[in-house]
Amino acid sequence: MSKAKKTAKSNKKSKKTLGKKELRVLITQYLSQQPGEYIHYKQLFRALKLTNGPLKMLAVDILNEMIEAGEVTHNEEGDVSYNGHSQICEGVFTRTAGGKNFVDLPDGIGVSVYDEDTLHALPGDKVKVSLFAKKKNSQKLQGQVVEIVKRNDKPYIGVLQISKHAAFLVSTNGQLPHDILIPLDKLKGGKNGEKALVKITDWPDHAHNPVGAVVDVLGASGENDTEMHAILAEFGLPYKYPEKVERAADTIDPGITDDEVAKRIDMRDVTTFTIDPRDAKDFDDALSIRKLKEGLWEVGVHIADVSHYVLEGSVIDKEAQQRGTSVYLVDRTIPMLPERLCNFICSLRPDEDKLTFSVIFTMNDDAEVLSSKIAHTVTRSNRRFTYEEVQHLFETIGDASEEDLQYPTPEQPLAEGACPAETYREELVTLNHMAKILRKQRFRNGAVDFDREEVRFEIDDKGKPLSVYFKRAKDANKLVEEFMLLANRTVAESVGKNLKKGEKAKTLPYRVHDVPDPNKLESLGKFIARFGLQLRTQGSRQEVAKSLTAMLHESKGKPMEELVEMMSLRAMMKARYSTVNIGHYGLAFDYYTHFTSPIRRYPDLMVHRLLTRYENGSASASQKKYEGLCDHASDMEQLAASAERASIKYKQVEFLADKIGEEFEAKISGVTEFGLYAEIIENRCEGLIPVRYLGEEAFDFDDRNYALVGRRTHHKFCLGDKIQIRVVRANLMQKQLDFEFVKKIEAAPGTTAPKTPFYEVVEKKKKRKKN
């Protein structure tokens, strides 16, 4: 079989989900395997399984761009041929934390650039790079920046160092090769040692340092607010709300008129409640339930009707669209919408009439959906529950899962004047019964079951972490989750499914999740075989998913559970938003969208507006417009997730800062050529053990088996090994922990422990030297 055919075959099931960048990589891979050979564009479509119109149009756009760039030639018959990269390519300049420079080309290839060849390019700059001749048998590209097409206007974060005659911004993340020189009249009130945002204004050709001006002073380095704002700014996320947006929110009338009620289904007399975390204020979803007759129920999923208050194109809408999502850091929420909207006007607070957008189901005791309708409604929540209150009820009356009973939920104090959960016992128990059935059905259909604990911190009023605890999803959480999933799926099906013959589905942002990368799945199968586990890596989508879930269930409660789950997650693709529906692999849904959280996710707000548009008989919205909005929302979601991880990492470093020299049991959580990552078992804080802290012998990196192997002793450090570590450094500036290896406690399941522990070899060698 030719390389080209292999590429097409291995990518058979994953083409429909691709964005422009990913599709360009695949086109380049396919054409480059047949250099000089002309291929008709329809043959290319067939080989890459581009079966729908939008993807074919996207592929044509990419081919035109590649023709313009000289990477591809074409003839009059529409055949194209690959030329390879031209000598001058355009891309985005990046710099790693380790100080290495690259230019990322549109086809996903990275061109390495030495410091002296950067032409003063900075991370995020759009540049042109001249490619050097390739070394024989080398796949790496080396080049020299020859033009800066467009400077990145994102400001840089660092610490101000101010002397009598000069000031500098010193970068804290290693992304700047040189400090930024700041004229003393451009400090904007910043003081020595404070963190600030600085925008580069000039970098003369022969100057060593770029010149910049302070955009904003974040505050004293080390203070909690300063550091959290710095994390947000690092990822280009806002840390304060524009005054004009706040003022616009203040002018919104929260009142509900009789005319508005008359346009909607009035469900204020139906038992309704919210179930949320203890500290939540933005209640964007509620559940209602009423018995229609014996064995028959009406269940409502009611979502805050944000689109009624936030009009498309308004100043509030533009800000929300740009933000894309609320951001959740360790100690705070940075909301997508102004506080007046998300915590008051739109929030489904108890004993207040609210405008909602609802999915209303008729269901029987077996959780079968007999009918459903999507409608604008008016609702009134009778009770605001916490997850802990509902879970306590389930555990008290014996309705909790066996797994939940292993982690009993302490009873939480009730809000003053609130009625206990017992008052709604029948409603909650009925919903819980249905949710468990819905959950079982999902897993029978091939949904993948990842049920990981989340790290949380107890912090004082100054933001200092006092302790670490773990949040686990229990029946109360899963009850809400299952009905939100059901509502989201129903909404997606209402637009994309059951179309008349020849009818084209109207535009809708779907939440899509592609099948796992085949190569990663194959590697996972080989990795778990050492534990006696099996995974089907070929077959139908459902067969592979069921096999994955069965394997994860088999590992539960066993020593290798966390390790297997971590490696399985690494094989998964990331879910994202797209108007091109390919289903959701992880949930085993053919149609899925996000409808249930418009207070904190912009795609949900888009879906609400489109449903209203189509309900009124309007034509389909522009797919091109909404695909662009989907791409932006996906990007912002990833940035928000990165910021959340960075805030957790900062708190972990801060938590261990006063524990230097202390020893902990840990598990090896990552293996690289430069050292090991180890996660402390009791608090999940992760740090690096550089190779130099592993002893005096040299090591080889075995990437197939995720291990470092001693060249002389052949002792192994494997992923999942239990070891004793000592905390040696906590660098808050770089959010980095360094550990020192003390001793091996237990080899990972499926690996062979050395006969003589490595730490004993090192100790014996030290004694011999002394003697």
Beta carbons of 17 and 582 less than 8 angstroms apart:
yes
What CA–CA distance (Å, rounded) separates 568 from 548? 8
* Overall average pLDDT of the 175-196 stretch: 93
Q: Which tens digit of pLDDT belongs to each residue from 471-493?
A: 889 999 999 999 999 999 999 99
pLDDT given at position 380:
98
- Helix axes of 602-615 and 475-496: crossing angle, nearest 10 degrees: 40
Nearest Cα residue to 160 out of 208, 211, 214: 214
What is the model's pLDDT at position 757?
39
d(CA 280, CA 597): 13
Above 60 in pLDDT, residue 568? yes
Q: Is the pLDDT assigned to residue 404 strictly greater than 70? A: no
Per-residue pLDDT, 281: 87
Closest Cα to residue 682, out of 700, 706, 656, 704? 656
The model's pTM: 0.82
Give 620 or 453, the one with higher predicted confidence: 620
Percent composition of the chain: helix, strand, coil (DSSP 3-state, to 5)? 35, 25, 40
Whole-number mean pLDDT of the chain? 87
Q: Are 567 and 669 a contacting pair, CB within 8 Å?
A: no
The answer on pLDDT for 378 being more than 50 is yes
More confident residue, 703 or 406: 703
- Which is higher by pLDDT, 236 or 41? 236
Q: Give the pLDDT score at 8.
A: 44
DSSP labels, 600-647: TBHHHHHHHHHHHHHHTTPPPPPHHHHHHHHHHHHHHHHHHHHHHHHH
Arithmetic mean of pLDDT, 603-609: 98
Count of CB atoms situated within 10 Å of the CB of 154: 16
pLDDT of residue 13: 39
* Encoded tokens for 543: 């067969």
- Residue position matching structure tokens 């997508």: 336
Once rounded to an integer, what is the mean pLDDT over residues 446-456? 83
For residue 597, CA distances in Å to 183, 360, 385, 603 come to 46, 17, 18, 9
- For residue range 530-546, what is the model confidence (pLDDT) as tens digits? 788 889 888 788 888 88
pLDDT of residue 704: 78
Of 601 and 222, the structure prediction assigns the larger pLDDT to 601
Q: How far apart are CA 307 and CA 329, in angstroms?
A: 26
Q: What percent of the chain has pLDDT over 90?
A: 58
**Kind and range of the H or E element at 435?**
helix 425-444
Q: Average pLDDT of 123-151?
A: 82
pLDDT at 770 > cutoff 60: no
Average pLDDT, integer, range 375-404: 88
CA 553 to chain centre: 24
Burial of residue 272, with CB atoms counted within 10 A of its CB: 0-12 exposed, 13-18 middle, 19 or more buried: buried
320 compared with 449, residue with greater pLDDT:
320
Residue with tokens 């912090």: 459
pLDDT at 84 > cutoff 70: no
- pLDDT classification of 15: cutoffs 50, 70, 90: very low
**pLDDT tens-digit readout, 3-13:** 444 444 444 43
Does residue 31 surpass a pLDDT of 90? no
Q: Which long-range contacts (CB under 8 A, 24 or more apart) does 371-377 make?
A: 372/490, 374/490, 374/491, 374/494, 374/611, 374/615, 375/264, 375/265, 376/263, 376/264, 376/265, 376/305, 376/612, 377/264, 377/265, 377/266, 377/267, 377/300, 377/302
Read off the pLDDT of each residue in 482-511 and give the average, rounded to a whole number: 93
